[in-house]
Amino acid sequence: MSVTPAAGQAPLPQRFGAIAVARPGVGFRTLLYKEVLRFWKVSFQTIAAPVLTGVLYLLVFGNVLDQRVEVFQGVRYSAFLVPGLVMMSLLQNAFANSSSSLIQSKIMGSLVFVLLPPLSHLEFFAAYLLSSMLRALVVGLGVFVVTAWFAPPPLAAWPWILVFALAGAALLGVLGIIAGIVSDKFDQLAAFQNFVIMPATFLSGVFYSVKGLSPFWSAVSRLNPFFYMVDGFRYGFFARSDVDPWQSLAVVGLTLAAAAGLAVRMLAVGYKLRG
Amino acid sequence: MSIPAIEANHVVKRYARKRDSVTALDDVSLRIEPGEFFGLLGPNGAGKTTLISIIAGLARATSGQVRVMGYDVGSDYRSARRSLGVVPQELVFDPFFTVRETLRIQSGYFGLAGNDAWIDEVIENLDLGPKADSNMRSLSGGMKRRVLVAQALVHRPPVIVLDEPTAGVDVELRHGLWQFVRRLNRDGHTIVLTTHYLEEAEQMCGRIAMLKAGRIVALEPTATLLARLAGVQLTLRVRGTLPALLNAEAINPGQPRYVVRVSAAAEVEQVLATCRAAGCVIEDLEVGRADLEDVFLQLMSNDVDRKAA
């Protein structure tokens, strides 16, 4: 059988039959598929566990505070809490997916299988980002479905829910890529997770409105990009928020653009990946 | 002149450290022709893996140029990487997948969808059939090594680099692996091999480059390298002092043994006669021919001598 290689493709030995010609986009789709399959195969840990954690937060805080706290007038505290818990779970899992995949494959050495093929840095970036967003959205949806059963919130301006869910998942997915690239040990990644992501998430207004804080802490909260993600996301449910959702979107969008630019640059130069 | 399978021109690789830099490759140039079985030898830290990493795109040269099948590994990396299959030195694997999933995914990375017929053939050739649907974690070290070879072949690359493929591998697998690699070479694949087993390199490789401290100290056909130490090699254990005119090389200072090289078998008697005349009693004598290990040791020690001088 005579097979002519495609333009720009190396001539290959033909002993074992017809040569499959490389098709554009297959490499990216395969990396995306592999990343999705990776978290799907351990879905008890990557999906079910965070959903359960979200529900436990709601049950504990909701039961204790439902009768004592009213953040938005006429809204049960449990219902107020639902969007914050959904967003918190979504953000944490977007970060965990890309960062843990990269650090595991770096430490185990299997990252070489992704670095040897002809994948571009943009394909690499997009595959890790989209898989993180997918896991984040699946977890977020799971947390929403279960918690909303206990305390259903309204969906007063639902397009904002989609916008901030996508933007938040993307930003944390990108931060996960950066953390995974920079970290050489699980310990370093855990430090990033415990000392940056976790405090930023907890201090973003998941459990409260920043309007209830002192002026100083309210101003400090406004320096936290996570606050704008939670606040904008909550606006989609109650059509009420601490800041204008367009302002939140601008802050999140700019932060995402800066983080994505940094991550793409790191991948393009092979920072800590290609010696 | 055909396009070389691999061409390295004046490749330098320096790693920056806190206060200075360390040179892993120092002006390395070589050309490997299509269809060659090429050996890359050298002691630990000589720069073999660094050179392979640059060829494979896993590391970037500080200066110089590397091409695979005529494609620059930097500016035309897609074609260069499609032309290359690398079996890494470390026994690495992705614990989430089965053998077949691993090979399908690896094939997909190279842009090949629907490559199952070839994957089946690779699985069969490497005797991975019974384990095809087993998780990678459950495989023995030898089987994992086979999967690494299979992963390097899923996109049918014309050039295959094997970085210490038989390290920690049992005799049976080693034998089977070499049979398969020989077959690939007969079928037209260019093979580049690094190994610490010099006997393997002597048997398999048509041409050999020896690296020492980042520099190529020999780049010749295997036969030419062996001819450097042509003739007969006498290994002696003696009582008394060996005459200086024999120009012997001590190989075991603790329990003195000496190597004396002569150009022909007829000269062996002259060596023995010289010993007798000097009153030196020969307690043990082995007669043999130089192998690649002798050449390797001589080249490495010569290089050290040159540096010391």
- Please write the tens of the pLDDT for every residue from B49-102: 999 999 999 999 999 999 999 999 999 999 999 999 999 988 999 999 999 999
Answer whether residue A231 is part of any domain. Answer: yes
Answer whether residue B186 is part of any domain. Answer: yes
The pLDDT value recorded for residue B252 is 64
Biggest distance spanned by C-alpha atoms of chain A? 79
Number of A:B CB contacts under 8 A? 130
Shared-domain flag, residues B214 and B281? no
Condensed to tens digits (0 to 9), the pLDDT of residues A64-117 reads 877 777 777 888 889 999 999 999 999 999 999 999 999 999 999 999 999 999
The pLDDT value recorded for residue A1 is 32
B12 touches chain A (CB under 8 A): no
Q: How far is B174 from chain A (nearest CA, A)?
A: 23
pLDDT band at A2; cut points 50, 70, 90: very low
Average pLDDT over residues A261-266: 98
Q: Which of B2-16, B198-212, B231-245 has the highest mean pLDDT?
A: B2-16
Of the candidates B53, B113, B189, which has its C-beta nearest A26's C-beta? B113
The pLDDT value recorded for residue A18 is 41
A17 touches chain B (CB under 8 A): yes
Condensed to tens digits (0 to 9), the pLDDT of residues B180-211 reads 899 999 999 999 999 878 888 888 999 999 99
Given the DSSP bridges, would you call strands B232-239 and B281-288 parallel, antiparallel or unpaired? antiparallel
Shared-domain flag, residues B119 and B260? no
Answer whether residue A125 is part of any domain. Answer: yes
Condensed to tens digits (0 to 9), the pLDDT of residues A116-164 reads 999 999 999 999 999 999 999 999 999 999 999 998 999 999 999 999 9
Nearest residue of chain B to residue A271 (CA atoms): B59
Last residue of a domain, one of B171, B204, B222: B222
How far is residue A230's CA from residue A209's CA, in Å, rounded to a whole number?
10
| CB-based contact A27 B151, cutoff 8 Å | no
Shared-domain flag, residues B162 and B272? no
What proportion of chain A, given as a percentage, has pLDDT over 70?
93
Average pLDDT over residues B111-124: 91
Shared-domain flag, residues B101 and B250? no
Answer whether residue A51 is part of any domain. Answer: yes
A63-72, B191-200, B245-254, B263-272: range with lowest mean pLDDT: B245-254
Residues contacting A109, CB < 8 A, separation 6+: B88, B90, B92
pLDDT band at B253; cut points 50, 70, 90: low
Shared-domain flag, residues B131 and B172? yes
The pLDDT value recorded for residue B40 is 94
CB B204 within 8 A of CB B182: yes
Shared-domain flag, residues B78 and B173? yes
pLDDT band at B303; cut points 50, 70, 90: low
Q: pLDDT higher for A20 or A38?
A: A38
| CB-based contact B111 A17, cutoff 8 Å | no
How far is residue B291's CA from residue A130's CA, in Å, rounded to a whole number?
56
Q: Is the pLDDT of residue B146 over 70?
A: yes
| CB-based contact B59 A109, cutoff 8 Å | no
Query: Where does B83-140 have alpha helices with state H?
Result: 99-109, 116-125
Shared-domain flag, residues B205 and B254? no
Residue of A32, A36, A44, A110 best to disrupt the B interface, most CBs of B under 10 A: A110
Shared-domain flag, residues B92 and B117? yes
Amino acid at B48: K
Q: Is the pLDDT of residue A63 over 70?
A: yes
Answer whether residue B244 is part of any domain. Answer: yes
Q: How far is A7 from chain B (nearest CA, A)?
A: 10
pLDDT band at A12; cut points 50, 70, 90: very low
Answer whether residue B116 is part of any domain. Answer: yes
How far is residue A141's CA from residue A94's CA, in Å, rounded to a whole number?
13
CATH of the domain at B218: 3.40.50.300
Q: In total, how many domains does chain B have?
A: 2
Answer whether residue A274 is part of any domain. Answer: no
Biggest distance spanned by C-alpha atoms of chain B? 77
Shared-domain flag, residues B96 and B194? yes
| CB-based contact B156 A108, cutoff 8 Å | no
ipTM of the complex: 0.86
Answer whether residue B157 is part of any domain. Answer: yes
- Write out residues 28-57 of A within 8 Å (CB-CB) of B: 29-31, 33-34, 37-38, 41-42
Shared-domain flag, residues B142 and B206? yes
Residue of A19, A23, A113, A122 best to disrupt the B interface, most CBs of B under 10 A: A113
Alpha-carbon radius of gyration of chain B: 23
| CB-based contact B110 A34, cutoff 8 Å | no
**Neighbour-count burial of A52, counting CB atoms closer than 10 A to its CB (0-12 exposed, 13-18 middle, 19+ buried):** middle
Chain mean pLDDT for chain A = 90
Answer whether residue B99 is part of any domain. Answer: yes
CATH of the domain at B248: 3.30.70
Shared-domain flag, residues B237 and B142? no
CA dihedral A215, A216, A218, A222 (to 10 degrees): 130
Q: Which range of residues forms the domain containing residue A68?
A: 26-269
Average pLDDT over residues A246-271: 97
Q: Is the pLDDT of residue A20 over 80?
A: no
The pLDDT value recorded for residue A132 is 98
Answer whether residue A17 is part of any domain. Answer: no
How far is residue A146's CA from residue A57's CA, in Å, rounded to a whole number?
12
Answer whether residue B305 is part of any domain. Answer: no
Q: If you ran DSSP here, which 8-state letter would residue A173 be given?
A: H
- Write out chain B residues lying below 8 Å of A10, CB-based: 68-69, 71, 79-80, 82-83, 157-158
Q: Is the pLDDT of residue A17 over 70?
A: no
Q: How far is B92 from chain A (nearest CA, A)?
A: 5
- Write out residues 154-173 of B within 8 Å (CB-CB) of A: 155-158
Query: In DSSP terms, which residues pair with B25 in a beta bridge?
Result: B13
Amino acid at B80: A
Answer whether residue A192 is part of any domain. Answer: yes
How far is residue A68's CA from residue A65's CA, in Å, rounded to a whole number?
5
| CB-based contact B82 A9, cutoff 8 Å | yes
A12 touches chain B (CB under 8 A): yes
Q: pLDDT higher for A262 or B224?
A: A262
| CB-based contact B79 A9, cutoff 8 Å | yes
Q: Is the pLDDT of residue B172 over 70?
A: yes
Answer whether residue B1 is part of any domain. Answer: no
Shared-domain flag, residues B143 and B250? no
Q: In total, how many domains does chain A have?
A: 1
Answer whether residue A128 is part of any domain. Answer: yes
Answer whether residue B309 is part of any domain. Answer: no
- Write out chain B residues lying below 8 Å of A118, CB-based: 77-82, 110-111
Answer whether residue A16 is part of any domain. Answer: no
SS3 of A9, please? coil
Q: Which range of residues forms the domain containing residue B99?
A: 6-222
